[in-house]
Structure 1
Amino acid sequence: MSLKGIFTVIAKVRRDVFTEVAKFAYEGDNDYNKLEEIPYKIIPGEIATVRESIFLERAIVGERVRLAMGMPLRKINEHAPLSTGIDEKSVSNIIHKPPFVNIIKFACNSCPDNVYKTSDMCRGCLARPCIEVCPKDAVSMVNGKSFIDQEKCIKCGRCKSVCPYSAIIKMERPCAVSCGMDAIKSDDFGRATIDYEKCVSCGVCISSCPFGAIADKTQIYQLIQEIKSGSKVIAEIAPAFVGQFGPKVTPEKLKAALIKLGFFDVVEVAIGADLCTIEEAEDYLSKVPDKLEFMATSCCPSWSVMAKKQFPEFKDNISMAMTPMVFTARFIKQKHEDAKVAFIGPCVSKKLEATRNSVKSHVDYVLTFEEVMGMFEAKDIQLEEIEPAKDMNYGTAAGRGFAVSGGVANAVVDVIKKIDPEREVPVDSADGLKECRNMLLLAKAGKRKGYLLEGMACPGGCVAGTGTIQPVSKSTATVNVYKKKAPLQVANESKFSHVLANLDDSWYDDWNIEK
């Protein structure tokens, strides 16, 4: 279960850290020792409010500050000031190294994982089906209530399934349950740990942890320094942005606010989504089913990396089209060769994508909506009151629809129908990596021949990304309303479609696959 869209104490601390790091960047005296003050600003006073110790609360905030500066966590068993390793050289490298998703060990609650227990709902009934069905005699009656002996229990779940009062519960680690890659296990102390060989940096675990023990690195400080240096920094903003900064913050107001932050211009990534759609439609028409049994979309990096890791036999079936982020960045740099490009979106995995050789020369910074909100608060920009800028009006309805589950496939099918009206295109889509894996298992069994497959790592699509602010259902509704306002509906109607002819093929180098 995701906590995304609920402004919990964890969300507040995240926001406060982003805001304070942004303030530190704007102050600009580069005295990194002052970072030591931030935990005391965020956690004032003498008494803890959410954990057992105020010192623990501040220590956790301190690690979050380091990650927000783009730095690694400190080792628990070694003494080191908060500012250790942070200097001009270490923070000037704008391309951060993985891992982007990190577990703050002493924030982890060591949650029980895959444990069956009897709750207070047990009525001590006479039938006692839980005892009768247990194959290992692990269930007995103690003081008139069902009791499960953990030494005998084999986690089969039969007792849970037959309890008439639903009194038996299965306790699972929320971060592990949410991980579609089964990359989260327990260390020797029962704390969560990430297997980075499996992790695809989707970030779903971040918004699933009820103890706020998982956090990601940011480039807030580096981006602000770039803007302050006088560089021409252009923001490209993902289709999921609509409504993220408040119901009264129109796209035009958001553009004006970003320019007030110091951005030279703001471009909708819907442009790149349209270009991605056109290329994927053409690829499908030319390759399926003669050369490929099916084709899958490429816009979600976590999904495409998962597919290539777990189903290497399908690496050619995943579209080689550039993601909308990269298409848009290359479009920007064709017009402004001296510009720096900052992608603003809902997604942690875009931070990993931006480290790829074919991407890092085009996308210079990746920030989430949450992180940018911290920048707005640091500069005390009142988003609802700002004078709106000129209408962005860049993308088609299809490009804007990439933000929601099913939107990518629908956009591609619409273009295919424009090119070949008689072509039937069966579609399957999945959101959440576990569902994506099931979809590919069906393809492996030969049940998706001729299909166009859409995969999204986040349940609900990009509007459910870790870096989003508002609830998924609300985001989906606002994106759909924004789609209807687009003057053009189908991707190949985009006035920027000619850009495709001018882009080079270096994107494909990372996969060693010919176009």
Structure 2
Amino acid sequence: MRGVPSLITDTRKKVFTEVARLAYEGEDYTRIGELPYKIVPGDQAVHRTSIFLERAIVGERIRLAMGLPLQPVHEHMLISDNVEDSAVAEKYYEPPLINIIPYACNACPTKQYKVTEHCQNCLAQSCKKVCPKNAISTINGRSYIDPQKCIRCGKCEAACPYNAIVFLERPCQKACGMDAIGMDEHGRAEIDYDKCVSCGMCLVECPFGAIVDKGQIFQVIQAIKNKGKVIAIVAPAFVGQFGPAATPEKLASAMEVLGFDRTVEVAIGADMCTIDEAEDFIRKVPAEQPFMATSCCPSWAVMVKKLFPEYAGCISMALTPMVYTARLMKKEYPDCKVVFIGPCAAKKLEASRRRIRSDVDFVLTFEELQGMFEAKDIRFSELPDGKPFSDATAGGRGFAVGGGVAEAVKDVIARMDPDREVKMVFADGLRECRKMMT
């Protein structure tokens, strides 16, 4: 699941569960207006200054989980406004995918050094001695850093013998490998969508749950209820996501209870991707290009094209495992709907591309799938074993590990062309990838 278990993940789980339950029950969807009161009961705020604020934030989370846009703060609108737009079996994401609920943002401090109460006002005054801008003085028996003079070099932090100086940085900004998060006029986080690649890391790291991605739970359930064939293709990372009782066989059974006609592991597509990339590498490197860059993460590919256009031609042109697997299913069942289920929001970006829309109809995260399980009151330990997933190689299942794609391709190249030397480097996360590409 995304992020460390917390009040934020609990809230997400409740939102996804109630949205899924509403979709399964059907009838009057304007009941969406009752959900914030169900998720945030009582008359006293628990986490924020006002229970009305808590409910307003949950209301926006519900709308986004249904694929609806944020509501403007300056206009009177009901949570249920335009809800009928989501009660359909087909709906593509409308940008932006990643959204900030303005009044949920805490306007956290951004990139500044602070002296904490651990300062001993020592005689050495090492922090003052090393500061190149004379930005540190003593006020009320404690060192003080003038933010107007500070150039954030970090020398004071390193010099303090008591570790009394800390560097404060907004978690969302720190997590963003594209430096796409700035501030609005109120100091609240704001996304520069020209830079954003929808990786979702800001969403995972925001301690106030102010950043939310749009969902398609509602549309998936509508497709299931329409009685058409709906096939789930699941990323190999599902192992361990739903507790120890959720074995592959139990998961297959649970997916049937949800209404899916078939569940397939995406590692099959990963194996196909590996073979294609190995063949491309043997044919093109170094004859046509100096190296081959590869990842099944769509955010990574967008990052390269945005920041390193000179290397765009070096990106592997092989389809991702998600698309390979989806096309296999569409070939076998031409009229089916394909739902990709994986760990992160970035695949939602990939599925929204025009050339992919006909292959992948919907994308859910594991968290959203968990909400569907909760809505159906599924207990894995009580389920019979379902049909096992299709076989796939360990290399295909290792795609999600840092360097896993390149390692799998390298192994196949070794079998195809044993005499060819392949040098491999990999990076974990967009920021590290940027360093590697520089």
Structure 1 residue aligned with 2:279, among 262, 278, 282? 282
8 Å CA contact retained: 2:88, 2:223: no
After superposition, the CA RMSD in angstroms is 1.3
Question: 2:309 matched to 1:312?
Answer: yes
Instruction: Output the amino acid matched with 2:386.
Output: A
* Range with bigger deviation, 316-325 or 395-404: 395-404
CA distance in 2 between counterparts of 1:309 and 1:49 reads 42
Question: 2:172 matched to 1:183?
Answer: no
8 Å CA contact retained: 1:63, 1:104: yes
**Which residue in 2 is equivalent to 1:171?**
168
Question: 2:38 matched to 1:48?
Answer: no
Question: 2:227 matched to 1:230?
Answer: yes
Q: Go from structure 1 to structure 2 and tell me whether the alpha carbon gap of 1:5 and 1:72 turns closer, same or farther (over 3 Å shift).
A: closer
* Range with bigger deviation, 46-55 or 384-393: 384-393
**Which residue in 1 is equivalent to 2:364?**
367
8 Å CA contact retained: 1:70, 1:91: no
**Which residue in 2 is equivalent to 1:408?**
405
Structure 2 residue aligned with 1:155, among 152, 155, 161? 152
Task: Please show how residues 107-506 of structure 1 align to structure 2 within 5 Å.
Answer: 107-441=104-438
Per-residue Cα deviation, 1:270-320 (whole angstroms, up to 9, x for no partner): 010000000000000001011110001141101111011111111110000
Q: Go from structure 1 to structure 2 and tell me whether the alpha carbon gap of 1:24 and 1:106 turns closer, same or farther (over 3 Å shift).
A: same
**Which residue in 2 is equivalent to 1:71?**
68
SS at match of 1:258: helix
CA distance in 2 between counterparts of 1:439 and 1:136 reads 32
8 Å CA contact retained: 2:67, 2:86: no
**Which residue in 2 is equivalent to 1:7?**
5
Unaligned runs of 5+ in 1: 442-515
1:76 shift after superposition: 1.2
Unaligned runs of 5+ in 2: none
SS at match of 2:339: strand
CA distance in 2 between counterparts of 1:291 and 1:165 reads 56
**Which residue in 1 is equivalent to 2:18?**
20
8 Å CA contact retained: 1:113, 1:171: yes
**Which residue in 2 is equivalent to 1:451?**
none
CA distance in 1 between counterparts of 2:193 and 2:26 reads 35
Q: Go from structure 1 to structure 2 and tell me whether the alpha carbon gap of 1:93 and 1:333 turns closer, same or farther (over 3 Å shift).
A: closer
Per-residue Cα deviation, 1:44-89 (whole angstroms, up to 9, x for no partner): 0011111111111111000000001100101112111111222247
8 Å CA contact retained: 2:327, 2:359: yes
CA distance in 2 between counterparts of 1:263 and 1:8 reads 30
CA distance in 2 between counterparts of 1:44 and 1:144 reads 46
**Which residue in 2 is equivalent to 1:503?**
none
**Identical amino acids, percent of aligned pairs:** 59
Task: Give the TM-score taking structure 1 as reference length.
Answer: 0.83
Instruction: Output the amino acid matched with 1:306.
Output: M
Instruction: Output the amino acid matched with 1:240.
Output: A
Instruction: Output the amino acid matched with 1:87.
Output: E
**Which residue in 1 is equivalent to 2:57?**
60
Q: Go from structure 1 to structure 2 and tell me whether the alpha carbon gap of 1:75 and 1:5 turns closer, same or farther (over 3 Å shift).
A: closer
CA distance in 1 between counterparts of 2:86 and 2:395 reads 43
1:5 shift after superposition: 4.7
Instruction: Output the amino acid matched with 2:33.
Output: E
Instruction: Output the amino acid matched with 2:21.
Output: K
CA distance in 2 between counterparts of 1:330 and 1:36 reads 39
CA distance in 2 between counterparts of 1:391 and 1:18 reads 27
Per-residue Cα deviation, 1:367-399 (whole angstroms, up to 9, x for no partner): 000000000000101122211112213211111
8 Å CA contact retained: 1:406, 1:429: yes
8 Å CA contact retained: 1:184, 1:192: yes
Instruction: Output the amino acid matched with 1:426.
Output: K
Q: Go from structure 1 to structure 2 and tell me whether the alpha carbon gap of 1:242 and 1:51 turns closer, same or farther (over 3 Å shift).
A: same
CA distance in 2 between counterparts of 1:150 and 1:201 reads 32
Instruction: Output the amino acid matched with 1:12.
Output: D
Per-residue Cα deviation, 1:117-167 (whole angstroms, up to 9, x for no partner): 100111111010111222332211122211112233232322112111111
CA distance in 2 between counterparts of 1:347 and 1:178 reads 14
CA distance in 2 between counterparts of 1:4 and 1:352 reads 17
CA distance in 2 between counterparts of 1:398 and 1:157 reads 42
1:91 shift after superposition: 5.0
8 Å CA contact retained: 1:298, 1:322: no
CA distance in 1 between counterparts of 2:417 and 2:85 reads 56
SS at match of 1:196: coil
Task: Give the TM-score taking structure 2 as reference length.
Answer: 0.98
SS at match of 2:355: coil
8 Å CA contact retained: 1:298, 1:320: no
Q: Go from structure 1 to structure 2 and tell me whether the alpha carbon gap of 1:152 and 1:91 turns closer, same or farther (over 3 Å shift).
A: farther
SS at match of 1:358: helix
8 Å CA contact retained: 2:3, 2:205: no
8 Å CA contact retained: 2:2, 2:344: no
8 Å CA contact retained: 1:69, 1:91: no
CA distance in 2 between counterparts of 1:111 and 1:411 reads 41
Instruction: Output the amino acid matched with 1:79.
Output: H
8 Å CA contact retained: 1:298, 1:321: no
1:90 shift after superposition: 7.3
CA distance in 1 between counterparts of 2:274 and 2:229 reads 29
CA distance in 2 between counterparts of 1:281 and 1:110 reads 47
Q: Go from structure 1 to structure 2 and tell me whether the alpha carbon gap of 1:172 and 1:54 turns closer, same or farther (over 3 Å shift).
A: same
Q: Go from structure 1 to structure 2 and tell me whether the alpha carbon gap of 1:406 and 1:310 turns closer, same or farther (over 3 Å shift).
A: same
